[in-house]
A and B are shown apart, each in its own frame.
Chain A
Amino acid sequence: MFAHEFMRNAFLAGTPIALACGLVGYFVVLRGQVFAGDALSHVAFAGALAAAAFGIDLRLGLFAATILVALGMGGLGERARADDVVIGSVFAWILGLGALFLSIFTSDASGTTTGTAGVRVLFGSIFGLGLGEALVAALIGLGACAAILLIARPLLFSSVDPAVAAARGVPVRALGFGFLAILGVVAAEATQAVGALLLLGLIAAPAGAARLLTSRPYTGLALAGALSVLSLWVGLTLSYSIGALPPSSAIIATAVAIFAAAAVKARLGASRPRPHSPRARGAGEA
């Protein structure tokens, strides 16, 4: 399998991206911001299509769109947490813009490649990465991981109990913005691997599974990263061995299968009597 260059590149780029998705995803789930992550993934699509429509580099459009919208959503919501209705209204409009850019792009570039560009952005093209692109993707992924680990401790504190954290001098609002910016970077980066429509799976599913399996935060964080990387590896291998299976579908299906297994395990565990029941953690809910 590793004899092929595209497979090596896919693993090289995908592993750090998946790790970053898992780590960021853990906080996304902990803070109850899955819908924000979802919205950012659609923004990534509109951004990439805008870049395509105006003929600039796709990645520039991706990063600019996701980071700007992430900060904007932070600005709209209290304590840098936007509420669902605001997010829904904003990204319905941004998707409309995506439709506009798609129509500009397809009417400008009349050729055989027109239809596939939109599909590539929506569903990713991890097998199409060159060595240079893969290295850049890997470096950005590692950078995002480092950034999230750097602020992990105060972010955890301010996610679980923002009021107490603010009283103890933790910059809750700034952390919220910083976190959304990192989420934007990761969303833009993961769009290249699994696509704008599917990256939510890598963010939500491994983290959700980790939250179900353990209530200890650092164990959960590590577990989320590990499960995410595992989904990517299993997914890539499956897709390599089954020709008709697209890599993004295989990766997301694996991640969701892990989540489903964790949910079943948690439900079975909950019905069994326990000597010391763990307290229900209403994590991050104000």
Chain B
Amino acid sequence: MLTDPAAAGLSWNLVTDVRELTSFPFMVNALEAGTIVAVMAAVVGWFMVVRQQTFAGHTLSLVAFPGAAAASLAALPLAVGYFGACALAALVLSAVSGSGARNRSAESAAIGSVQAFALACGFLFVSLYSGVLNNLDSLLFGTFLGVTTGQVLTLLLIAAAVLTLVALTARPLLFASVDPDVARANGVPVRALAVGFLVVLGLAVAATSQITGALLVFALLVTPAATAQQITMRPGPSLFLSVVLALAVTWVGLGIAYFSVYPVGFWVTSLSFGVYVAVRIVRAVAERRDRTQEPASPEPVDSLVVQ
């Protein structure tokens, strides 16, 4: 990742560090792509966590890998493979989980089978087209630092589409996620929203996995959202916090990765997991203190705000 180690001196002056970071076009591209991806992943991931579809989201993120492998086998652009495979998998998943909503264990077995089959196909494509083997690590773990300007533009378009869709359907989607039965009784098209959300999730995951790699999408998708929901359960602030956290871990992770020899995926996942663990510990301590000091505390713990 570092072509010239002498150029990458970390000093205590943050301003010069940031100036040095942004003096390379590849770092600017990486920061722009990271910003777009972080905002989109945090918003979509927040709904994913509320809807308890983490397993489906993980499966979609892994499907990006066979998609990319198939695209390179067929000499198509990689982006076609990513988006095609994720959209297809989203439709398959919603078909599989359609009737089995009452029985979650059967549904998860089905999701697991879809995932394993997709990965088996991916491995088959990779072994058929041995040239991609050299890029296997970047397919799985991402190439944050090899983002082109064209990719940034594509990401921007996808993110705009995804965020617009989510913004337009945010209220009914939240309603349908929190209480599907009441929402259905109120005339909210729960089923259509579920299918639509999976497709949007697929698009977001495909875009994210081009940057973070198929295996590390989760660091941006689930961890900031989970952290934000630990801090507050009110939808607005929680969603906002999730975006802020995702942006922070992406920027700091990219910055550290530039000055270190270890991969960016490691830094981003470690930072977001560290924040998650810290928030959980703070919350557990606060809950225990509340319980010991005032046994009948009227204030709900869910609205606890950590400064």
A253, B117: Cβ atoms under 8 Å?
yes
Decide if B111 is an interface residue (CB 8 Å cutoff): yes
Say whether B49 faces chain A, with CB atoms less than 8 Å apart.
Answer: yes
Closest Cβ neighbor of B264 among chain A residues: A99
Q: How many residues of A contact B (CB 8 A)?
A: 69
Report A76-95 CB contacts with B as 1/0, cut-off 8 Å.
00000000111111111101
Q: Determine if B134 is an interface residue (Cβ-Cβ < 8 Å).
A: yes
How far does the alpha carbon of A26 sit from the alpha carbon of B99 in the complex, in Å?
A: 21
- Which stretch, A67-75, A137-145, A206-214, touches the partner chain B? A206-214
A229 to chain B, nearest CB (A): 17
- In angstroms, Cα B106 to Cα A267, docked, is 13
Q: Does A23 contact B (CB under 8 A)?
A: no
* CB-contacts of B106-123 with A (<8 A): 106, 108-117, 119-121, 123
Query: Does B222 contact A85, Cβ atoms closer than 8 Å?
Result: yes
Q: A201-B116, A280-B103 are in contact. Are A92 and B121 (CB under 8 A)?
A: no
Please tell me if B19 contacts chain A, counting CB pairs below 8 Å.
Answer: no
The answer to whether B117 touches A34 (Cβ under 8 A) is: no
Give complex CA distance A110, B102 in Å: 52
Q: B51-59, B153-161, B179-187, B291-299: which one contacts chain A?
A: B51-59
Chain A residue nearest to B110 in the complex (CB): A208
Binary CB contact string for chain A from 22 to 33 against chain B (1 if under 8 A, 0 otherwise): 000000011110
A92 touches B116 (CB 8 A): no
| A32 in contact with B117 (CB, 8 Å) | no
Which one of A107, A256, A281, A282 lies within 8 Å of B113 (CB-CB)?
A: A256
Whole-angstrom distance from the CB of A113 to the nearest CB of chain B? 13
A280 to B263, CA, bound (A): 48
Question: Are B108 and A96 in contact (CB-based, < 8 A)?
Answer: no
Instruction: Please choose the segment from A10-18, A56-64, A170-178, A243-251 that sits at the chain B interface, where 4 or more of its residues have CB less than 8 A away.
Output: A243-251
Task: Identify the closest chain B residue to A207 (Cβ).
Answer: B109
Stretch at the interface among B8-16, B32-40, B212-220: B212-220
Contacts of A200 in B (CB 8 A): 112, 115-116
B223 touches A92 (CB 8 A): yes
| Contacting residues, chain A, for B112 (C-beta < 8 A) | 34, 37-38, 200-201, 203-205, 208
Q: Is B265 an interface residue (CB 8 A)?
A: yes
Given A96-B265, A103-B263, A119-B136, A205 and B215 contact (CB-CB distance below 8 Å): no
A102 touches B109 (CB 8 A): no
When chains A and B are docked, how far (Å) is the Cα of A88 from the Cα of B270? 13
Contacts of A165 in B (CB 8 A): none
Assess whether B124 is in contact with A245, with CB atoms less than 8 Å apart.
yes
Say yes or no: A35 contacts B128, CB within 8 Å.
no
* In the complex, residue of chain A having the shortest beta-carbon distance to the beta carbon of B127: A246
Whether A198 lies near B120 (C-beta < 8 A) is yes
Bound: A119/B135 CA distance, A: 11
Residues of B within 8 A of A107 (CB): 261
Residue pair A246, B124 in contact (C-beta under 8 Å): yes
| Minimal Cβ-Cβ distance residue in B for A281 | B103
Q: Does A5 contact B (CB under 8 A)?
A: no
Bound form: Cα–Cα A37–B52 in Å: 17
Q: Measured between C-beta atoms, what is the minimum distance from B86 to chain A in Å?
A: 17
Interface status of A154 (Cβ within 8 A of chain B): no
Name B266's closest neighbour in chain A (CB-CB). Answer: A100
Q: Is B226 an interface residue (CB 8 A)?
A: yes
Interface membership of A188, Cβ < 8 A? no
6 nearest A-B pairs in the assembled complex, by CB-CB distance: A96-B269, A201-B116, A208-B109, A204-B112, A93-B273, A92-B218
| Given A92-B219, A102-B141, 17 extra CB contacts under 8 A | A29-B109, A37-B112, A89-B276, A92-B218, A92-B273, A93-B219, A95-B265, A100-B262, A104-B262, A119-B133, A122-B140, A197-B123, A198-B120, A198-B123, A208-B106, A284-B105, A285-B105
Binding site for A on B (CB under 8 A): 49, 52, 54-55, 58, 62, 99, 102-106, 108-117, 119-121, 123-124, 127-128, 133-134, 136-137, 140-141, 213, 215-216, 218-219, 222-223, 226, 229, 261-263, 265-270, 272-273, 276
